[in-house]
Structure 1
Amino acid sequence: MRRLDYTIWYVDDLPRSTAFYRDVVGLDVRKEGDGYVEFDLENTKFSLFDKAKLGELIGRPAGTAPCGEIGFIVDDVDAHADRLRAAGAPILTGPVDRPWRERTLHVADPDGNIVEFAQKL
């Protein structure tokens, strides 16, 4: 295996989560339909899928969030913190300088999944 192709969060309320990642995080929607929304990123696919439709897709329900974390590299984590606070995103930690030479900020999405913004130091 050489690279990660995609990440999909299974969400309780697809319109609410789409609005969070589009309007709060700042991602553009690339495609959507039938319980699926994919955002426009250059290096990987990041998508949301309606938990109510999981039976059709994989034959079983999803787990309980938070199940993981997705991270975005940004140029100015403090500017993102200001923008996220103004948008009402629940800040969990940061911005804080980490020993691994990143300045990080963590927020929770509407389903409780963790979203990290990291600036290389």
Structure 2
Amino acid sequence: MPRIDYVIWYVESLARSVEFYRDVLGFEVRIEGDGYVEFTMDNTKFALFERTKLPELIGGEGGSAPCGEIGFIVEDVDAEARRLREAGVPILTGPVDRPWRERTLHIADPDGNVVEFAQKL
């Protein structure tokens, strides 16, 4: 079976997005340079890449703004929701129990990418 090796969000403002993931979500920066920032994760690589540098990376103009979802497993979704609300982060949905035996919470990062926090039930 394949496994996820990495997730990279192409972001409009690297500084704004790093601030969100580092200061609001609490992720630790592992690597930084040339429009790229990677965070310390146990099971995969999660990074941000400055959208203006896309032509250097993949050619063309980079197209329209990407939007997707990334999910993170946490121990306590309700505690995460309280922490995020206190930080002023708007909650899209949740916390809510799902039929697939997870309690989930959804927010959006500064570029509109959806971030899910899930707690196994």
**Would you say same fold, with TM above 0.5?**
yes
Contact persistence 1:54–1:62 (CA under 8 A): no
SS state at 1:80 partner: helix
What residue identity is the alignment partner of 1:54?
Answer: L
Question: Amino acid of the residue matched to residue 64 of structure 1?
Answer: A
Which stretches of structure 1, 4 residues or more, deviate above 6 A after TM superposition? none
* 1:62–1:18 Cα change, 3 Å: farther
Which amino acid counterpart does residue 48 of structure 1 have in structure 2?
A: L
Q: Does 1:119 align with 2:115?
A: no
Query: Which stretches in structure 1 are left out of the alignment for 5+ residues?
Result: none
Matched ranges for 1:14-33 at <5 A: 14-33=14-33
Give the distance between the partners of 1:62 and 1:23, measured in 2 at CA. 29
Q: Distance in 1 between matches of 2:2 and 2:98?
A: 27
Task: Report the number of matched residues.
Answer: 120
TM-score, length basis structure 2: 0.95
CA–CA separation in structure 2 for the residues paired with 1:13 and 1:7: 17
CA RMSD in angstroms comes to 1.0
In percent, how many aligned pairs have the same letter? 73
Query: Normalization by structure 1: what TM-score?
Result: 0.95
